[in-house]
Amino acid sequence: MKDIKVTMLGTGSPYPALHRAASAQLLQIDDMNVLIDCGQETTSQLQRIGVEPQDVHHLWFTHLHSDHTMGYFQFLIGGWHLGRRKLSVVGPKGIKEFHETVLKMYEDDINYRTSLGFPAEGIHDVEIYEIEEPGDIPAGDIPAKVTSAPMIHNVTTYAFRFEIDNTVIVFSGDSSPTQHLTDLSENADLLIHDCVLTAKEKAENTNLDTIWEKLQKEHCTPAQAAETAKQSNTKRLLLTHFLPSIDEEHVESEVRRVYDGELILGQDLQTVDLTKKTVTTL
């Protein structure tokens, strides 16, 4: 039986917050580490849970918004510095150009480091896989079947379903409600779901007034996430992508009107162990 864990490295948003780093999750299948998104702080968060970045050889991007990608260069060059010589990156169309642009931006820096004797492997030969269309994605040496589905966001965004033996974990990425996510999440053991739209945030933050209507076309409320979990018969719903000052009680009561499965309000450095069936926070 495999040991399967998901750790929330960042449960925040584009609004910087000390207690919530931007979006990133670590899926661990025995000693295989798969990073899902790479927002700011990802590398330090990995180190906080005792995982060195050079031991992560797989990174999957749901989409290329800054709050899901800003930590990429640090992860890329930091892991390489520490000895990673192989990395594969999966993401929507544009991921290749994104990676090459990052290399170009830091070209002089990387050349300096290779002149010191750091090898080209692990930085100049990163394998990039661009998702052309939703559906099954080759998972390489990851012991899982991976399926993607298109989300409703303002850039191309994919949710990912990882099936590891009989365990199913779904990462929604960012989206407003969509039947595609309900279908992808069928009978999931764990659904990690975007929950940007919490009412207290709107009430307290006048900055949000002007964009709230637009955000509703691109993200979910707790009740909408709960509806997807209910319709898909998901066992555990983990809400994430929170703005800085959510009212947890309110979020919970909104969910509870719809969904009676296990609910986890995401926290940074929180680990869901799907084998031991425990939830712990560092």
Which residues of the chain form contacts with Zn ion (CB under 5 A)? 65, 67, 174
- Cα distances (Å, whole numbers) of residue 279 to 19, 33, 260: 18, 18, 18
Nearer to Zn ion, 23 or 77 (CB): 23
The first and second tokens of residue 184, run together, are 């992808």
Q: In angstroms, give the least distance from the CB of 150 to Zn ion.
A: 14
User: Cβ(22)–Cβ(40) under 8 Å?
Assistant: yes
| Beta-strand pair 158-164/145-150 | antiparallel
Give the residue with the Cβ less far from Zn ion, 11 or 28. Answer: 11
Nearest approach, Cβ of residue 31 and Zn ion (Å) = 29
- Minimum separation from the CB atom of position 214 to Zn ion (A): 12
| CB-nearer residue toward Zn ion: 176 or 234 | 176
**Minimal distance in Å, beta carbon 218 to Zn ion?**
7
Q: Which residue, 35 or 142, is less far from Zn ion as judged by CB?
A: 35
Contact 17, 244 (CB under 8 A): yes
Q: Which is nearer to Zn ion, 174 or 254 (CB)?
A: 174
| 194 in Cβ contact with 219 (< 8 Å) | yes
| Least spacing, CB of residue 176 vs Zn ion, in Å | 11
Place of tokens 């994605």: 137
The CA–CA distances, whole Å, from 38 to 42, 64, 121, 171, 238 equal 6, 10, 21, 13, 18
Phi, psi of 5 (to 5 degrees): -140, 150
Residues 6+ away with beta carbon under 8 Å from 202: 208, 209, 212
Quote the least distance from Cβ 198 to Zn ion, whole Å.
Answer: 14
Residue among 19 and 276 whose Cβ is closer to Zn ion: 19
Nearer Cβ to Zn ion (41/67): 67
Q: Which residues have C-beta within 8 Å of that of residue 226, sequence separation ≥ 6?
A: 237, 254, 255, 256, 257, 258, 259
The span from the CA of 149 to the CA of 32, in Å, is: 23
